[in-house]
Amino acid sequence: AQSVTQLDSQVPVFEEAPVELRCNYSSSVSVYLFWYVQYPNQGLQLLLKYLSGSTLVKGINGFEAEFNKSQTSFHLRKPSVHISDTAEYFCAVNTGSGNTGKLIFGQGTTLQVKP
Amino acid sequence: EPEVTQTPSHQVTQMGQEVILRCVPISNHLYFYWYRQILGQKVEFLVSFYNNEISEKSEIFDDQFSVERPDGSNFTLKIRSTKLEDSAMYFCASKQGRTEAFFGQGTRLTVV
């Protein structure tokens, strides 16, 4: 069965500092990987996705992530965070193997950007 | 930009009552989903719907739940005889194919 582990429940960081939010997945087949962001009292917004091709993917708001198949990881990074990046971040996977395409989410990581 | 819309944004209901959560997916999408997020927990898959039938459902999605696409545009989740533990944020999502899913803003269901 597929699963997603986000290794940090909370990540406090100062404004303009770099940040990495870690995500590991388990799956026996090829995967599609996603990062979603949830701002307070809002829905889920796609940050970026890996479907195939280049393992380094760039998303909105200056975020990027690298797919590492050997380490089954898909860590999210940003070189310089802003106060407005404070939110909950979810890593998600689906197998892309012709199934229904449901997403399996990690537990989420709360990014707290401090001034 | 097309978006998934959900109504109502917040629903309060008494325990034992039935509720219907409504969603309008993006018009050319083919796959439809409901997810649930209990406060402070992760987002959980409930059910997927394709070609006018359920394609997959989770263990959570028991006989208390049902989904329907009554008119080709709306996609509803019905919860019968609500329980306190059904209190959660419910998200509708849709996608076109093997691409990303687009989520609505969610309906916060509070069972009292």
Residue B63 in tokens: 């006989």
Model confidence band, residue A115 (pLDDT cutoffs 50, 70, 90) = very high
The residue to which tokens 């870690």 are assigned: A22
Q: How many angstroms separate the CA of residue A14 from the nearest CA in chain B?
A: 24
Phi-psi region of A93 (alpha: psi -120 to 50; beta: other; left: phi over 0): beta
Q: Which residues of B touch A9 (CB under 8 A)?
A: none
Query: With contacts defined as CB-CB under 8 Å, which chain A residues touch B42?
Result: 90, 105-108
Instruction: Give the mean pLDDT of chain A.
Output: 91
pLDDT at A97 over 60: no
> Is pLDDT above 60 for A98?
no
Domain total in chain B: 1
Gap between the Cα atoms of A37 and A107, Å rounded: 12
User: Integer distance in angstroms from the first to the last C-alpha of chain A?
Assistant: 41
For B59-98, give one letter per residue: b (16+ CB within 10 A) or e: eebeeebebeeeeeeebbbebeebeeebbbbbbbbbbeee
B32 contacts chain A (CB < 8 A): no
Q: In this prediction, what percent of chain A has a pLDDT beyond 90?
A: 76
- Residues B28-41 have pLDDT tens digits of 899 999 999 999 88
User: pLDDT of A40-96, one tens digit each?
Assistant: 888 899 999 998 888 999 999 999 999 999 999 999 999 999 999 999 999 999 865
Q: In order of start, what are the domains of chain A with their CATH numbers? A: 3-114 (2.60.40.10)
Q: What is the mean pLDDT of residues A86-112?
A: 86
pLDDT < 50 stretches in chain B: none
Contact A102 B45 (CB under 8 A): yes
Is residue A4 a contact partner of residue A23, using CB atoms and an 8 Å limit?
yes
- Domain around B47: 5-111
Please answer yes or no on whether B101 and A42 come within 8 Å at the CB atom: no
Write the Ramachandran bin of B111: left for phi over 0, alpha for psi from -120 to 50, otherwise beta. Answer: beta
Collapse the DSSP code of B101 into the 3-class scheme (helix H, G, I; strand E, B; otherwise coil) and give the result: coil
Tokens for A30? 């090829």
Which CATH number do you get for residue B39? 2.60.40.10
CA–CA distance, A39 with A45 (Å, rounded to integer): 9
- Best of B9, B39, B42, B102 to mutate (most A CBs within 10 Å, chain A): B42
Could you tell me the sign of the dihedral formed by the alpha carbons of B92, A7, B58, B30, in that order? positive
* CA A5 distance to own-chain centroid: 10
| B57 interface with A at CB cutoff 8 Å | no
Cβ density class A38-65: b for 16+ within 10 Å, e for less:
beeeebbbbbbbbeeeeeebebeeebbb
